[in-house]
Amino acid sequence: MRNLTGGGAWLVLPAVLLLAAFFLWPVGELVARSFRDPAGAWVHYQRIWEVPAYLRILNRTLVISAMTTVICVVLAYPLAYRLVTASPMGRAVILVCVLIPFWTNLLVRSYGWIIMLNPQGVINSALMGLGLIDEPLRLVYNTTGVLIGMSQIMLPFMILPIAAVMARLDPKVTHAARSLGATPVQAFFKVYLPLTMPGVMAGSVLVFTISLGFFVIPALLGGSREILLAQLIEFNINQVLNWGLAAALSTVLLIATLGLYWIGDRWFGLGRIWGLK
């Protein structure tokens, strides 16, 4: 990319000022608020690590985010492979299906899952009609509902980086492995899979970091008992008006997100895969 020098630097100045005014300054104020308390600068952070309920919520957030990531990897890998190997028409159809979630409002998708997953919904009615179950399954207002909703929304963020890496691979590599005596399974696990792991890891970092801050899906599909970190932040802001603790929780989430993104960019080339470098 050509360096901006002289008068060209003024072209980016409006964007820099806008970013500083509406993002950097609010985030800086949020972090600073987490340290402003008469009882001490670290009182809110000490409370987070000393209260068992907060640690359980943090652990639940990490576990659900990790489970969502694993589900997305399992579903996205074959879809990404099919996307890369399909004909131009088939590739266009698959890509449209992958991108449809981006075109649908998040609340609409959430309530759609509620309609499908509730005890009288389409899925339970179909399973009972086929005689596979005797009573409705609990698929919503619990962890199962959260995982289903989050996995569906996060799936494109896993498919696209994996497909981007697969598209760059030379098919002759696996053909060469086969010609040297490798079975299809050996060629996949020893040649193709290792070469596509940067895309898998980049997608995993994206899905995991975004899942850490999910609010709408857990709030609607998870019920009121198994809340996640974003819901705890919202509760402290709107219900108990403890903005200092909410700021500390947000700072922990921010540090975790930035740290994971740095790891993904440093070790797995996240920026290169998404065309940022």
For 229, the token pair is: 């970190």
88 within domain boundaries: yes
Domain assignment present for 177? yes
Average pLDDT score over residue span 235-253:
88
Asked, for residue 77, whether it belongs to a domain, the answer is yes
Q: Are 63 and 117 in contact (CB under 8 A)?
A: no
Which pLDDT score is estimated for 1?
46
| CATH number of the domain to which 53 belongs | 1.10.3720.10
Task: Say if 128 falls within a structural domain.
Answer: no
Range of the domain at 93: 40-104+142-273
Residue 115 within a domain: no
Number of compact structural domains in the chain: 1
Classify residue 228: in a domain, yes or no.
yes
Mean pLDDT computed over 203-213: 90
Q: Write the pLDDT tens digit of every residue in 75-115.
A: 999 999 999 988 889 899 988 888 887 788 888 888 889 88
Residue 80: Cβ within 10 Å count: 26
Q: How many CB atoms lie within 10 A of CB 256?
A: 19
- Name the band, by pLDDT with cuts 50, 70 and 90, for residue 257: confident
Q: In sequence order, what DSSP letters do the residues of 146-168 get, joined into one string? A: HHHHHHHHHHHHHHHHHHHHHHH
Tell me the C-alpha distance between 83 and 161, whole Å.
Answer: 12
- 253 is a domain residue: yes
Does residue 31 belong to any structural domain of this protein? Answer: no
Q: Which two tokens stand for residue 18?
A: 């806008």
Encode 197-227: b = buried (16+ Cβ within 10 Å), e = exposed: ebbbbbbbbbbbbbbbbbebbbbbbbeeebb
